[in-house]
Structure 1
Amino acid sequence: MEKKIGNIRVIINPAAGRGESVLPVLNLSMKEAGIKWHASITHEAGEAIKFAKAAVKEGVDALAVFGGDGTLMEAISGLMGSGVPLVILPGGSANIMAKELGIPQDLKEACALMSQVPLTMKTIDVGQFSGHYFILGVSLGFGADLIEGADRETKNRIGFFAYFLSAAAALKKAKKAVYHLEIDGQKHEVQGLTCIVTNTGNLGFSNISYDKHIDVSDGLLDVVVVREANLSLLKLMAVTLLKRERPDNFELVEHWQGKDISVSSSPKQTIQYDGEVLKEMPLHIKIIPEAIRVLVPKEKA
């Protein structure tokens, strides 16, 4: 049984949110739960890592994060190895990890999880490469171009539909590459438009999932190569956005699982991890099993 949260630090990304009045909701929720809390406001990239490390030194019972997946990724980087549990308060345009864990998208409902008796924690895996941590995945090619093309202004204006517009633009200039993979010592070579090394069933755009059985807690990374992307993919994204549900899977992909993965492409492609864009290759990616404890609804434990 997890002990009650008595003292919590909340990292807030003011660029996130959907027009919500965050502080009043947090004040009321913390008062009702009997939790002492302090806020740290981010103003630039990397600050959430520093705030998370400071919270660990303070000896907080938990760390909460209001923001998108990028802010969440930074906070987790600061929590690694600490044992301090994480409370996710969705505030971004995608909130992929929150959706993956069944955490309510409404801020007040998400805060209510802190009043559960007993508290319910789920232990999730974290990926790592070149000193970077990630909770969602690393993508090359079309998938990375899609994320890079969805700017903050557009996401604030139309939410997750910004990724659909970005996908349409990225598709026009998408070019295939040859992906050189080594997965737990086994070598593979496959041609495609994007390669995704993912920790979640959600591939990072729309709610499209290759396989609903991909598990953020299974101690494995999933490697997905999308061989083709055309109007049928955009149609699938549009239907998924409108229905707010995932299809069981979609075709035109190659899929592997592993714990130790190396990937490069010919020619070199854009790389992104948890929404951050990089220009380094080759990548050597490992899974860190059972790395972070996250507060979740009882039915998701």
Structure 2
Amino acid sequence: MNRTKACLIFNPVAGQSDPEQDLAAIRALLEPEIDLDIRFTTEDVDGDTIAKEAIAQGARIIIASGGDGTLSATAAALVGTSIPLGVISRGTANAFAGALDLPDTIPAACEIILGGATRVVDAALCNGLPMVLLAGIGFEAETVERADRQAKKRFGILAYLMAGLQELRELDSFTVEIETEDKVITVTASAVTVANAAPPTSILAQGPAGVIFDDGLLDITIVAPASRAGAIAASYHLLRTALNENAAAERNDIGYLRTRRVIVRTDPPQKVALDGEIIGNTPIDVECVPGGLTIFVPRDAAPPAPLEKLEGLPELTIESKPVVGFEE
């Protein structure tokens, strides 16, 4: 009988658990049914590189085990292919698993890989780079940069909270121009998030509520608080929105919309975090790739939410434009 073959991409420095025990547990669960070609990431070789090599050598299933960086990098290599991705999340935030409704324990993740159905979900391209989760501009990008590997290793998910609190002390606003297929929006904001998929913990992406990862659209959230107190209140409101997927944001300092493609320009330029990694500064051009990724998943996505809410944002202007493409 022919056994299933898969390449397992394993990050030995992810999370706070014992990597040797983790790998032994994965092998004990999967190897009775799957022939594993186990490859390790290093500081110089990430999941994207390993996955491309494995695909070139004929791999038909890719399994990634590590933190969000490893999972996103591996998934990026599979965008536009029909090769299914199995996810075994062992990171600090486990945002990737949360965004796609996947478990974050080894036994449950392995069970899905062995018996779960595959599902086609969306991906995206951000300035030509594959994007599975989201691009954060402003506050979120600055927070990601503050939460370094050492802090995450020591404090876990609290590293992001501490970084966010530190960043809140230096909260800045900037002018942002958001160009979609049919309008140009200009507004003053402190954070803009363009999400293909996002877990509830990515609260700055939760304006529309229940970010949908297979609707062919990007979810854009604009956070424009007038003060630090307003930023805290807006963040708390977005957290409640995240926990109640059917209730979109209803504050005047939070706006959202959905679109297939968006160009975001800012003045002054702002840092951009793409799937948890800083990639440079604005502007960004993000386009959804419908059905770009095949993944093992256990259940259906959340139901649709309203497409947009922009009223009440400070210094807001909206200019309609004909649907004839984007100005480059």
Output the TM-score relative to the length of structure 2: 0.81
Q: 1:238 to 1:190 in 2, by over 3 A?
A: closer
Which residue of the partner structure matches residue 11 of structure 1?
A: 9
1:143 aligns with 2:140: yes
SS at match of 1:286: strand
Which residue of the partner structure matches residue 210 of structure 1?
A: 207
SS at match of 2:6: strand
Q: 1:49 to 1:5 in 2, by over 3 A?
A: farther
Give the C-alpha shift of residue 236 in structure 1.
7.9
Q: 1:101 to 1:205 in 2, by over 3 A?
A: closer
Give the C-alpha shift of residue 206 in structure 1.
5.8
Q: Distance in 1 between matches of 2:265 and 2:279?
A: 13
Q: Deviations over 1:156-189 (max 9, x none)?
A: 2222121111111111112100101101141010
Which residue of the partner structure matches residue 176 of structure 1?
A: 173
Q: Distance in 2 between matches of 1:79 and 1:208?
A: 24
Which residue of the partner structure matches residue 279 of structure 1?
A: 280
Which residue of the partner structure matches residue 263 of structure 1?
A: 264
Bigger mean CA deviation after superposition, 167-176 or 221-230: 221-230
Q: How does 1:52-71 map to 2 (within 5 A)?
A: 52-71=51-70
Which residue of the partner structure matches residue 29 of structure 1?
A: 29
Whether the 8 Å CA contact 1:201–1:211 is kept in 2: the answer is no
Q: What is the root-mean-square deviation in Å for CA atoms of aligned residues?
A: 2.7
2:50 maps to a residue whose letter is: F
Q: Deviations over 1:192-245 (max 9, x none)?
A: 10111111243763697333332011100011110116346557868999x9x7
Q: Distance in 1 between matches of 2:102 and 2:3?
A: 18
SS at match of 1:103: coil
1:99 aligns with 2:86: no
Output the TM-score relative to the length of structure 1: 0.88
Which residue of the partner structure matches residue 50 of structure 2?
A: 51
SS at match of 2:169: helix
Q: How does 1:76-115 map to 2 (within 5 A)?
A: 76-115=75-114
SS at match of 2:194: strand
2:101 maps to a residue whose letter is: G
Q: Distance in 2 between matches of 1:204 and 1:179?
A: 24
Q: Deviations over 1:108-136 (max 9, x none)?
A: 221111221xx311211111122211111
Query: Alignment identity in percent?
Result: 24
Whether the 8 Å CA contact 1:201–1:212 is kept in 2: the answer is no
Q: 1:298 to 1:274 in 2, by over 3 A?
A: closer
Whether the 8 Å CA contact 2:15–2:156 is kept in 1: the answer is no
Residue-pair matches, total: 293
Q: 1:264 to 1:208 in 2, by over 3 A?
A: closer
Q: 1:190 to 1:274 in 2, by over 3 A?
A: same
Whether the 8 Å CA contact 1:208–1:246 is kept in 2: the answer is no
Which residue of the partner structure matches residue 127 of structure 2?
A: 130
Q: Distance in 1 between matches of 2:23 and 2:229?
A: 43
Unmatched runs of 5 consecutive residues or more in structure 2: 303-328
Q: Distance in 2 between matches of 1:220 and 1:240?
A: 20
1:10 maps to a residue whose letter is: L
Q: 1:209 to 1:130 in 2, by over 3 A?
A: closer
Q: How does 1:231-250 map to 2 (within 5 A)?
A: 231=229, 234=232, 246-247=243-244, 248-250=247-249
1:291 aligns with 2:289: no
Which residue of the partner structure matches residue 37 of structure 2?
A: 38
Q: Distance in 2 between matches of 1:135 and 1:179?
A: 23
SS at match of 2:222: strand
1:24 maps to a residue whose letter is: A
Unmatched runs of 5 consecutive residues or more in structure 1: none
Q: Distance in 1 between matches of 2:3 and 2:285?
A: 37
Q: How does 1:179-194 map to 2 (within 5 A)?
A: 179-194=176-191
